């Protein structure tokens, strides 16, 4: 992604692309195995294209990546580890940095802006207010993500952090929403009112499950940005009925900025091409959209998700990747996160939920869908065996099924998907962030 000039650094961005990273990757045979080579292929291409660089671009704002630089070289120059450097800059893939990118150097953050922690604050709550990853805040401040903060404690922010918008109208005292969203990521909308209101929220034509959260005067909804939406400005509309019967409506612009997603060309082996049948794909998706469109289930899980598969199994195809099948156009994207794992590895629930589907599907193979409440669903595709049944309540860490390659798949792997109000968004965002804000009693404990 070319960073938007008026947008803060996106703390969850997946790929900072370097020259040559836009090259198409031809995947034949096992997709899960081939994608594990992605980082190495990109690094190898760069090594041939660019002469080795020297770490000499330090300035008051950190370090500017030069042609030929690697994260390992830069880390060695400043006497820190690659892991420390990646964490401080919110980098998920150490092989993907961009020439001209400005990096924060841990231990040299004295010029960074600071804010004082409020009573009950946590790093995830501060990150939510300033649109920064809790993991990045933890790295910048030498803290654990879950560490308790004392009121007034100074917390460093990256220079590009920006507070969320706060607006009001009529009986609506405060509207807190992000000033921008990245394609494929999710923001929060919190509305505070002077009296209980029946609020209606519509985000770019998508009805929101806007409802009170622990307090009748405080309503909450997620703001999911589809992976192919924009970039551009899109409208959020809030409405309520005034005491005199009039409908009061206010609209707010929210900018969607481009996500940094790679491209993949996938060649399906003989016998799998029939799974691209457009009518069958459409029928299956319509059935699932009817499930994903429900939002009546009470909240089942509020904390950050746990990984649905062991940490030793790497990502092979990240969410949002633009895809072409058998030489076709790049008009689809990868709606989930793929993890390479051998057949039979256990897949577990990342949070409490209710099983709303557990059965074989044509495209997705053996599939499980969990309802986590208020329009939030997670899906698990291509399983070799199902270990739960529809209607069953499950707890975090409970086995759901076993890794496989059923359905539209070219090799054993887990496809993990997150849907909010039916919109596919990046599930990895919620490994760091709570799915819903904590209840007031939890905030009181931390004060």
Please provide the DSSP assignment of 194-212 as one string. SS----EEEETTEEP--EE
Q: Are 323 and 333 in contact (CB under 8 A)?
A: yes
Any idea which of 90-104, 187-201, 373-387, 402-416 has the lowest mean pLDDT? 90-104
Domain with 122 in it: 1-160
Domain boundary among 140, 160, 180: 160
121 and 184 within one domain = no
76 and 5 within one domain = yes
380 and 341 within one domain = yes
Work out the burial of residue 54: count CB atoms within 10 Å of its CB; fewer than 13 is exposed, 13-18 middle, 19 or more buried. Answer: exposed
271 and 185 within one domain = no
Of residues 212, 260, 253, the one with CA closest to residue 10 = 260
Position 116 in a domain: yes
121 and 18 within one domain = yes
More confident residue, 53 or 68: 68
Position 227 in a domain: yes
Phi-psi region of 279 (alpha: psi -120 to 50; beta: other; left: phi over 0): alpha
Instruction: Give the DSSP H/E element, type plus range, for residue 283.
Output: helix 278-292
106 and 195 within one domain = no
pLDDT digit string, tens, across residues 172-222:
999 998 878 999 999 999 999 999 999 999 999 999 999 998 899 999 999
Q: Are 327 and 265 in contact (CB under 8 A)?
A: yes
**Tokens 């919190």, residue located:** 190
More confident residue, 87 or 295: 295
Work out the burial of residue 404: count CB atoms within 10 Å of its CB; fewer than 13 is exposed, 13-18 middle, 19 or more buried. Answer: buried
Number of structural domains, the chain? Answer: 3
Domain boundary among 227, 260, 293: 260
290 and 240 within one domain = no
**Exposure on the CB side of residue 220, measured as CA atoms within 13 A:** 17
Q: Are 411 and 212 in contact (CB under 8 A)?
A: no
Position 445 in a domain: no
Confidence class for position 392, pLDDT limits 50, 70, 90:
very high
Q: In whole angstroms, what is the distance from residue 149 CA to residue 327 CA?
A: 53
Find residue 224's DSSP bridge partners.
186
More confident residue, 20 or 220: 220
173 and 293 within one domain = no
| CATH number, position 249 | 2.60.40.10
228 and 289 within one domain = no
Q: DSSP 3-state helix, strand, coil percentages of the chain (rounded to 5)?
A: 15, 30, 50
**pTM tops 0.75, yes or no:** no
145 and 178 within one domain = no
Q: Are 138 and 123 in contact (CB under 8 A)?
A: yes
Domain boundary among 260, 285, 307: 260
């Amino acid at each position: 992604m070319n960073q938007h000039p008026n947008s803060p650094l996106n703390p969850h961005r997946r790929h900072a692309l370097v020259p040559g990273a836009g090259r198409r990757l031809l995947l034949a045979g096992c997709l899960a195995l081939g994608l594990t080579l992605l980082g190495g292929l990109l690094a190898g291409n760069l090594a041939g294209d660019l002469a080795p660089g020297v770490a000499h671009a330090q300035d008051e704002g950190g370090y500017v990546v030069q042609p030929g630089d690697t994260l390992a070289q830069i880390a060695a120059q400043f006497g820190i580890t690659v892991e420390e450097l990646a964490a401080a800059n919110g980098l998920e893939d150490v092989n993907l940095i961009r020439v001209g990118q400005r990096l924060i150097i841990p231990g040299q953050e004295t010029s960074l802006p600071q804010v004082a922690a409020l009573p009950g604050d946590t790093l995830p709550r501060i990150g939510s207010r300033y649109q920064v990853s809790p993991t990045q805040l933890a790295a910048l401040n030498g803290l654990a993500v879950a560490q308790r903060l004392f009121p007034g404690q100074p917390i460093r922010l990256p220079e590009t952090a920006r507070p969320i918008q706060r607006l009001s109208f009529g009986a609506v005292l405060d509207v807190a929403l992000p000033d921008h969203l990245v394609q494929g990521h999710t923001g929060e909308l919190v509305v505070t009112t002077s009296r209980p209101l029946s609020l209606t929220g519509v985000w770019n034509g998508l009805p929101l499950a806007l409802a009170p959260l622990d307090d009748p005067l405080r309503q909450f909804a997620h703001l999911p940005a589809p992976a192919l939406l924009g970039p551009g400005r899109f409208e959020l509309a809030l409405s309520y009925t005034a005491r005199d019967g009039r409908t009061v409506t206010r609209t707010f612009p929210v900018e969607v900025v481009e996500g940094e997603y790679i491209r993949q060309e996938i060649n399906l082996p003989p016998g799998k091409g029939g799974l691209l049948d457009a009518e069958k794909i459409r029928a299956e998706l319509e059935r699932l959209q009817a499930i994903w469109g429900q939002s009546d289930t009470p909240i089942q899980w509020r904390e950050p998700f746990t990984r649905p598969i062991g940490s030793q199994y790497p990502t092979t195809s990240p969410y949002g990747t633009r895809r072409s099948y058998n030489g076709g156009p790049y008009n689809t994207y990868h709606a989930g996160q793929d993890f390479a794992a051998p057949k039979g590895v256990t897949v577990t629930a990342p949070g409490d939920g209710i099983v709303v589907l557990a059965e074989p599907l044509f495209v997705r193979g053996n599939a499980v869908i969990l309802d986590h409440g208020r329009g939030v669903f997670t899906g698990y595709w291509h399983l070799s065996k199902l270990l739960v049944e529809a209607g069953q309540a499950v707890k975090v860490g409970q086995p759901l099924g076993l890794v496989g390659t059923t359905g539209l798949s070219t090799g054993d792997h887990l496809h993990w998907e997150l849907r909010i109000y039916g919109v596919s968004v990046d599930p990895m965002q919620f490994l760091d962030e709570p799915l819903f804000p904590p209840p007031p009693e939890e905030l009181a404990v931390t004060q």
